[in-house]
Amino acid sequence: MRKLLAGLMFIFILTGCASTGIVPTGRNEYMISKTDMGDVWHTGAKVLAKLYIEANEYCAKNNMSVEKISEETNDGKMFVRNANATLKFRCVSSEGELKPQVP
């Protein structure tokens, strides 16, 4: 019984979240999506918050901040889907200027 419980716990840990990572979609435009596989009762807003953390970390590497283009969320529904979210954003300076492009 302990081995079965340990195996199930291991599977739940492995299926925590699936993410696309940050994907460039245009000139200074990026997208990131994530599906929370651990709990069907999670909300899309909880997943979206994780995306904002990743987006902020990405932009902060260049001393920039996130400017939202769009966002989409879906709450988890048992036997239908896991909670997921997509964030489209750009990196801007604190003065609102676009991130300079590297040739």
- Give the pTM: 0.73
pLDDT at residue number 20: 84
pLDDT single digits (tens) 15-74: 455 888 999 999 999 999 999 877 667 899 999 999 999 999 999 998 999 999 999 999
Determine phi and psi for 26, rounding to 5 degrees: 175, -170
- Token digits for 56? 């902020």
What is the Cα 84 distance to its own chain's centre?
8
Alpha helices, DSSP H only, in 1-103? Answer: 2-14, 44-60
